[in-house]
Structure 1
């Protein structure tokens, strides 16, 4: 299965990379095509506008007469009458806009100038406000030249014999050509980006799901192995004890019969506890557990639990130091679950102590504005950063090095986290490998 998942990930990754490269190539091509389309449309529009400006309208003739300029009977002298004498700026704008609209180019930014003559000797007659600025920039910036469409079209009215005479020119700039091409394709590019993002997200979710499935498969295998071991040991002990009880010598000895019976009872209790732990974890996962909340004094629960661990600590020459400084230790919670929560934390502090160092557990309580803060600090083996990150994961068990006497299903800390969450609290852990761990539980208190 591991090999199949690896091959699948490689194939999906290759497909994703290929798709992204195709999308990038498609975007580059479509932008370049759009640039060419803008150039063509603007050139056709400017040519049409130049032809329109080259013809003489009756409106222009009336204006010239109103200005006292004599109008000859033929068009031969019209080339010498400049465009700015025949048309106003607004009329030129309208003519150019109409030509742009005819070729679907009115949405592009166009700067123009009408000059008498062309080149360095050209005399400007009419021009847009930004034309001169762009012309100056083009003279010094070669990159700007590459990204600007520059075209000149003769404004050539015909004489009586039909020969055009070009003395004036329509000069057109389309600045930031690539930028305008990108903007004109906004929705197409946004759609492409969204499609790419969706594809990448789908790839991420697929990879994440596959890795999670592999992780769950490993966890399941570890759990089954661990559960088999946890049940096999008490079953083997019970089997031996039952065999011993069938022995005639043991049957004739009341003390030995009681001894082996107590072993059977104790191992049976252990198995029941394991079963209860597994069932409890299942209920937690389904959120089907019910909390029987009541008013609880945490200090009393802590003191009772410390007494329960006194024998274990005595065997290890350890101690528990209490700093119950909280002025308000009253919370609303489920007594059984809260007791189990604190019991698990203290039990871990005892179990994960160093074999050659007496355990020292410091339990401190304080208050914040609306919460009770319970801190449980130990001097045990501690945890790595990886273990700290995963400590609340179901079935996860931190590596304990040479410490082999620690057993369980890896459900204790998951249970602790679920109970804290169910009581609207918070829990965090800080640990240094080889130095010890600190668990901090934050629970809301009942305010007086």
Structure 2
């Protein structure tokens, strides 16, 4: 008991309001950080885009003026128009050879340090089409040919167009510090989410621990109190003059001691499972005989409420005797706990193509659909209201599940609220 008192004293205190406040403040903080980060990243990107646009406009204007100088024409003040975010057209006034245009474009883009792929085309007024020039990569080398045509415009008579297909990725590459800070923000967000998960998990474990200690205290107090009363009676000298009464109280002590032993073994077996010290001693067992052995001590409690339907012709299986007895006992005790009084329970065996099927059927309160997936979890108990009318630690079905897994058996549950439940164990038999 000292161990459980230690758990109770050292249980972290995280009430519901505290957790809600932590989650709310954390969520607001992270949301604020992400919003500010997104705002400044957008501002930085817009600034880089504006700088890119200005650089392109200056470069293309210089190209147009150099071509005008080559042909002894007057210079342009504003020959460039932007038709889309990545496409620009520039006035020429005269037809131009593609090689000359490409030479000037490369020179000017190198001078402006505009190291991003581009493609260009020259408008042919005779065919009224833009004749595609070439695709130039970031190293100013000719590369693949684009299949996407360059748009036309009616703004100029003779012009050339330049498109930057990798503009977005080029601008993003210029945001190194912002990308790093965004990555840090992402890490902080993930850490926050994980922290909230840990806090909620810790809260759940704290509640499970509290319920477990409360249940264990209640379950231990009952037999201990009963044994104390019985020993007080047996300590009276006159009890020896009443042999029947003496025998009755000795039997009570024996039953309550057996009950305590079962409860302690349940906790210890669960601890062994967690430590991985679960070893099986597989031998040939006769399941009908084991069922009789388990139910022998419950006949008085169940009176006429327990029925046996042994339909299995082949009833020998390979299993660990101790663990198989525990599995049957836990399924039976679970059926008793969740049955109305008097209980109506049937233990059935049958041979199927899958093997021997052991079923424990009750006409009890049933299990809600939302709880069926949780009943084999440790410490979980199907809610029955605020009354402590169902005894136990919530370990029985968890232990049954582990025994089935260790033997490589299959567990099935069918249940309907108000009508009862069927727990079936499909046991493979040697052919």
For 2:74 and 2:388, locate their aligned partners in 1 and report how far apart those are by CA, in whole Å.
108
Computed over aligned residues only, the root mean square deviation of the Cα atoms, in angstroms, reads 4.1
Distance 1:329 1:251, change over 3 A: closer
For 2:111 and 2:58, locate their aligned partners in 1 and report how far apart those are by CA, in whole Å.
9
Distance 1:173 1:216, change over 3 A: closer
Name the structure 2 match of 1:135.
151
Q: Does structure 2 retain, via aligned residues, the 8 Å contact 1:227–1:409? A: yes
Name the structure 2 match of 1:342.
328
Name the structure 2 match of 1:103.
112
Aligned to 1:258, which of 239, 247, 250?
247
Residue 30 (structure 2) pairs with residue 16 (structure 1): yes
Distance 1:231 1:312, change over 3 A: closer
Aligned to 1:269, which of 258, 269, 272?
258
How far did residue 125 of structure 1 move?
8.0
Aligned to 1:285, which of 274, 278, 282?
274
Name the structure 1 match of 2:421.
437
1:404-423 map, 5 Å: 406-423=390-407
For 1:340 and 1:417, locate their aligned partners in 2 and report how far apart those are by CA, in whole Å.
11
Name the structure 2 match of 1:31.
45
Aligned to 1:321, which of 296, 300, 309?
309
Name the structure 2 match of 1:358.
344
1:124-203 map, 5 Å: 127-128=132-133, 133-136=149-152, 169-174=159-164, 179=168, 184=173, 195-203=184-192
- Out of 196-205 and 236-245, give the one that drifted further: 196-205
How far did residue 382 of structure 1 move?
0.6
Task: Give per-residue Cα distances to partners, 1:95-118, cap 9 Å, x unaligned.
Answer: 3233223333342444443678xx
Aligned to 2:210, which of 221, 224, 227?
221
TM-score normalised by the chain length of structure 1: 0.72
Distance 1:34 1:76, change over 3 A: closer
Q: Secondary structure at the match of 1:201?
A: helix
Task: Give per-residue Cα distances to partners, 1:169-225, cap 9 Å, x unaligned.
Answer: 544455796x55676579888767755554333222212211122222222222222
Q: Does structure 1 retain, via aligned residues, the 8 Å contact 2:367–2:382? A: yes
- Out of 265-274 and 124-133, give the one that drifted further: 124-133
Residue 363 (structure 2) pairs with residue 379 (structure 1): yes
Name the structure 1 match of 2:221.
232
Residue 199 (structure 2) pairs with residue 210 (structure 1): yes
For 1:195 and 1:373, locate their aligned partners in 2 and report how far apart those are by CA, in whole Å.
56
For 1:401 and 1:40, locate their aligned partners in 2 and report how far apart those are by CA, in whole Å.
72
Q: Secondary structure at the match of 1:320?
A: strand
For 1:182 and 1:374, locate their aligned partners in 2 and report how far apart those are by CA, in whole Å.
68
Q: Does structure 2 retain, via aligned residues, the 8 Å contact 1:83–1:125? A: no
Gaps of 5+ in 1: 57-74, 140-150, 153-166
How far did residue 375 of structure 1 move?
4.6
Q: Does structure 2 retain, via aligned residues, the 8 Å contact 1:38–1:181? A: no
How far did residue 52 of structure 1 move?
4.2
For 1:23 and 1:298, locate their aligned partners in 2 and report how far apart those are by CA, in whole Å.
67
TM-score normalised by the chain length of structure 2: 0.74
User: Which one has the largest radius of gyration?
Assistant: 1
For 1:110 and 1:204, locate their aligned partners in 2 and report how far apart those are by CA, in whole Å.
45
For 1:308 and 1:246, locate their aligned partners in 2 and report how far apart those are by CA, in whole Å.
27
Q: Secondary structure at the match of 1:324?
A: coil
Aligned to 1:389, which of 366, 373, 381?
373
How far did residue 422 of structure 1 move?
2.5
Task: Give per-residue Cα distances to partners, 1:70-103, cap 9 Å, x unaligned.
Answer: xxxxx7599999553xx4x244324323322333
- Out of 290-299 and 96-105, give the one that drifted further: 290-299
Q: Secondary structure at the match of 1:135?
A: coil
Task: Give per-residue Cα distances to partners, 1:348-373, cap 9 Å, x unaligned.
Answer: 223322336733454445334xx765
Aligned residue pairs total 390
Distance 1:201 1:78, change over 3 A: closer
Q: Does structure 1 retain, via aligned residues, the 8 Å contact 2:305–2:345? A: yes
